Amino acid sequence: MDEIRQTSRQFQKDLSNLQTLDQLEQLKIKYLGRNGVINAHLMRLKDLPDQDKKKTGEAINRLKAELETEIVKKTHQLAKSDEEKESVDVTLPGKAYPKGSLHPITLAIEEISRIFAKIGFVRVSYPEIEWEYYSFESLNMPAGHAARDDFETFFIDTPADPKLGRMLLTPHTSSGQNREMKRLKQPPIRMINLAKCYRPNLDATHTPMFHQFEGLCVDEGINITHLKGTLDYFAKEFFGPKREIRLRPFHFQFTEPSFEVDISCGVCLGTGKVRGKKCKVCKSGWLELGGAGMVHPYVLKQGGIDPEKYTGFAFGWGVERTFMMKEGLKLDDIRILYNGDIRFLEQF
């Protein structure tokens, strides 16, 4: 019992000398911690005569409760004292806290949407997990057709639908063409479909997951000059007045005639060389952005549109590849957009 009273006196002495909350925490550990003074007293109870154990145990518990109360009171006192010592100069500028920003691809998507909105294209978004019918059959690519080799990628392990086929991660935004024609039922149609797409490619100009923007315009009297004018307009708006595009004859099952669209390379500035070596992005001074062409009559029929009365054009470009070619950016590897390097992302 004398040792318990001595512990109480020593605690009060130690408590009176405290100046900070950190010191108080150390005192709490010293007396109330697992290996502290109070537990040491409790451990010694087993060595006392039976008639003394109850009385001594009660005294130790009272002391423990007293110490806990004193520590709580001292905590409030020290915290209040710290607040009173703090002074705030309200004329000083506030602290600059780090903040996030939109990803560069998100910024590019918003800019592309604004550019096409100026000429009447309405932004839509269609499923990222799509049926084979919308991705292939409705676009004049029946089952087993060789044209599907470049697009068939990641199929979903679910039962096939008798009419729509299997499900897959959509390989291109062209699957939205049929859906949009059936949604509106009647031209004029001006659609810009932006969505994620998936293909098994990975190099300086490809990623397995990427974004595309799909343009579709259907009305009476639409021809190639409208297509060329629309793409020229976008190139000047997005890339700047010095950049040029070109159309190369190509073949797509869902357009006729078909073209691939190239932009003068923004990395080598159309020369095909960087520091005397062949440009690893374009190889020749031009970089393919995507496909375009006049909508195939079969595709119009599948969408419920009369190809004898209406014509249309369509184009599909990769957002990431288009962003790479932005004036002054000189981004020579598309993969940096998705590797999470904060030093790169903070620039946007």
pLDDT tens digits along 236-255? 999 888 788 889 999 999 99
Judge if 79 and 111 occupy the same domain. no
Structure confidence by residue, pLDDT tens digits, 257-311: 999 998 888 778 778 888 888 887 788 888 888 899 999 999 999 999 999 999 9
148 found inside a domain = no
11 found inside a domain = yes
| Dist. CA 283–CA 263, nearest whole Å | 13
pLDDT (mean) for 51-72: 86
Secondary structure of 193-238 as H, E, C letters? EEEEEECCCCECCECCEEEEEEEEEEECCCCHHHHHHHHHHHHHHH
Question: If you average pLDDT over each of 43-52, 80-89, 193-202, 291-300, which comes out highest?
Answer: 291-300
Structure confidence by residue, pLDDT tens digits, 73-82: 888 888 777 6
Q: Indicate the pairing of strand 189-198 with strand 122-124.
A: parallel
Helical (H) or strand (E) element with 295? strand 286-295
Judge if 198 and 288 occupy the same domain. yes
Judge if 63 and 122 occupy the same domain. no
Is residue 190 over pLDDT 90?
Answer: yes
pLDDT (mean) for 41-51: 83
Give the model's confidence band at 85: pLDDT under 50 very low, under 70 low, under 90 confident, else very high: low
Quote the pLDDT of residue 83. Answer: 61
Residues 64-90 as b/e (b if ≥16 CB within 10 A, e otherwise) read beebeebbeebeeebeeeeeeeeeeee
Could you tell me how many helices (H) and strands (E) the chain has, helices first?
A: 11, 11
Q: Is the peptide bond before 249 cis (omega within 30 degrees of 0)?
A: no
Residues 307-343 as b/e (b if ≥16 CB within 10 A, e otherwise) read beebbbbbbbbbbbbbbbbbeeeebbebeebeeeeee
257: Cβ–Cβ under 8 A, 6 or more apart, which residues? Answer: 224, 249, 293, 294
Q: Which residue has better confidence, 311 or 326?
A: 311
247 found inside a domain = yes
Quote the pLDDT of residue 105. Answer: 93
Which CATH number fits the domain that encloses residue 111?
Answer: 3.30.930.10
Radius of gyration of the chain (CA): 36
Question: Final residue of a domain: which of 53, 83, 113?
Answer: 83
Judge if 69 and 108 occupy the same domain. no
Question: Final residue of a domain: which of 49, 83, 117?
Answer: 83
| Dist. CA 130–CA 126, nearest whole Å | 9
Quote the pLDDT of residue 92. Answer: 78
What is the DSSP code string of 143-181?
Answer: TT-GGGGGT---B-SSPPBTTTB-EEE-S-TTHHHHHHH
122 found inside a domain = yes
Judge if 184 and 322 occupy the same domain. yes
Residue 5, Cβ neighbours under 10 Å: how many? 11
Judge if 38 and 116 occupy the same domain. no
Express as a percent the part of the chain with pLDDT over 90.
Answer: 42
Judge if 79 and 43 occupy the same domain. yes
32 found inside a domain = yes
Quote the pLDDT of residue 248. Answer: 92
Judge if 117 and 246 occupy the same domain. yes
Mean pLDDT, rounded, of the chain: 88
> What is the count of structural domains for the chain?
2
Residues 39 and 46 sit within 8 Å (Cβ to Cβ): no
Judge if 317 and 271 occupy the same domain. yes
Quote the pLDDT of residue 278. Answer: 86
Residues 213 and 193 sit within 8 Å (Cβ to Cβ): yes
Q: Which domain holds residue 30?
A: 2-83
Question: Final residue of a domain: which of 26, 49, 83?
Answer: 83
163 found inside a domain = no
Residue 263 identity (one-letter amino acid): I
244 found inside a domain = yes
Judge if 206 and 71 occupy the same domain. no
Judge if 201 and 236 occupy the same domain. yes
Give the model's confidence band at 35: pLDDT under 50 very low, under 70 low, under 90 confident, else very high: confident
Judge if 188 and 218 occupy the same domain. yes
pTM given for the model? 0.67
Q: Which residue has better confidence, 243 or 105?
A: 105
Structure confidence by residue, pLDDT tens digits, 17-29: 888 888 888 888 8
Structure-token pair, residue 187: 């031209």
174 found inside a domain = yes
